[in-house]
């Protein structure tokens, strides 16, 4: 048991400062006060403890998924909408149909 504790301590509690570099930092603590999901209106609203509110709406063609809506609200709360959109734009990959040279799903 002592060996297992020492191994876990070495891995998680005492990382090597040369090998361990966090890729990002989060300044906010996320405490959710209330979640409102409306499948008919395709809207998810998350109210946080600091009384800030994030809203996620589906477009008319989207299928409503409350889990995805809550995740998007949390991401918007952490990063802000403009920073999140900029991050997504820099990381996304658009897949084209080779035969028609259009985006997949485009009509």
Query: pLDDT at position 25, please?
Result: 56
**Can you read off the two tokens belonging to residue 56?**
């996620």
Mean pLDDT for the stretch of residues 61-78? 90
40: three-class secondary structure by DSSP: coil
Residue 73 lies in a domain: yes
Please compute the mean of the pLDDT values over residues 30-35 and round it to a whole number.
90
User: Does residue 106 have a pLDDT over 60?
Assistant: no
Does residue 41 lie in a domain region? yes
Q: Is residue 30 in some structural domain?
A: yes
43 in any annotated domain: yes
Q: What is the mean pLDDT of the chain?
A: 76
User: Which among 23, 77, 24, 25 has a CA at the least distance from the CA of 49?
Assistant: 77
Domain annotation covers residue 107: no
d(CA 57, CA 72) in angstroms, rounded, equals: 10
Res 62 pLDDT > 70: yes
Q: Three-state SS for 103? A: strand
Q: What is the domain extent for residue 25? A: 2-83
Q: Is 28 part of any domain? A: yes
Structure confidence at residue 22 as a pLDDT band (50, 70, 90): very low
Q: Is residue 101 part of a domain?
A: no
Work out how many domains the chain is built from and give that number.
Answer: 1
Please indicate, yes or no, if residue 90 is contained in any of the structural domains. no
């Amino acid at each position: 048991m002592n060996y297992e504790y020492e191994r876990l301590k070495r891995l998680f509690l005492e990382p090597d400062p040369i090998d361990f570099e966090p890729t990002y930092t989060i300044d906010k603590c996320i405490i959710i006060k209330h979640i409102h999901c409306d499948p008919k209106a395709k809207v998810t609203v998350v109210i946080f403890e600091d009384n800030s509110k994030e809203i996620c709406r589906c477009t008319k063609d989207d299928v409503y998924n409350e889990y995805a809506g809550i995740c998007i609200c949390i991401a918007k709360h952490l990063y802000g909408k403009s920073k999140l959109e900029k991050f997504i734009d820099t990381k996304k990959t658009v897949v084209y149909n080779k035969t028609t040279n259009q985006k997949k799903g485009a009509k």
